[in-house]
Amino acid sequence: MTLLAQATAAGQPSCYSRLTNEWFCTQYLHDYRSEIVDATTQHLGITVAAVLLGVVIAFPLSLLARRLPRLESSILGVSTGIYTIPSLALFPLLVPFTGLTATTVVIGLALYALTVLVRSMLEGLRSVPDDVRESATGLGYGAGRLLFRVELPLALPVIMAGLRVATVSTVALTTVGSLVAYGGLGNLIKDGVTTDFRAELFTASVLCVVLAVVLDALIVVLQWVLTPWTRGAQA
């Protein structure tokens, strides 16, 4: 996308032309609606896929860290260490295996999300009182049934708090995917900075914030639905 010297029907330069180049431009939203929608859709898809993949990886790691305490520091150390790797280095390392595709971005972001997700899941499981576990075991609950019917429901508030942080941070980090041309709104931000296209830069930045707020609100609603027993306590 380039900054156009486009004119309106009245013969005046559009609000996103080189002559005006305004930050807020409704005409830009109208003329480039399809590109904005495509970028937002890609951003949302990559974010959701990365968070879900992060959850799938983090869950068994947290269970392993709880079951084998001697491995806990190693698991937490590796998951935290990955977050310190700059995206400029991590994404190129994945490209030889996944190519210049959205998969590269999804895997990279999922690895970054492990820092928060592994810790929140581990702490959530540890927050379950021992007497609750003992009572469930006394009632005949096996390991699997105890985990999914007792421990996970009670650990959900802590886990969901970590999920919220991981999701919001992933929305921001998805923009870095523009390094491999799969950054969603990050592609528009990169182009806006390169070409000094203010309307494009402002619109994409605002949409990133809106997307983060909406996803965070959805997770809060999901937690409210999944933990009905907490509503009375909060009231």
> 104: which residues sit within 8 A by CB, 6+ positions away?
91, 94, 95, 98, 177, 180, 182
Is the model more confident about 34 or about 9?
34
Give the separation between CA 229 and CA 233, rounded to whole angstroms: 7
Which residue in 94, 115, 112 sits closest to 103, CA to CA?
Answer: 94
41-50, 89-98, 213-222: least confident range:
89-98
The answer on pLDDT for 2 being more than 70 is: no
**Superfamily grouping for domain 33-225:** MetI-like (1.10.3720.10)
Q: How does pLDDT run across 193-221, given as a tens digit for each residue? A: 888 878 888 889 999 999 999 999 999 99
Question: Structural domain boundaries of the chain?
Answer: 33-225
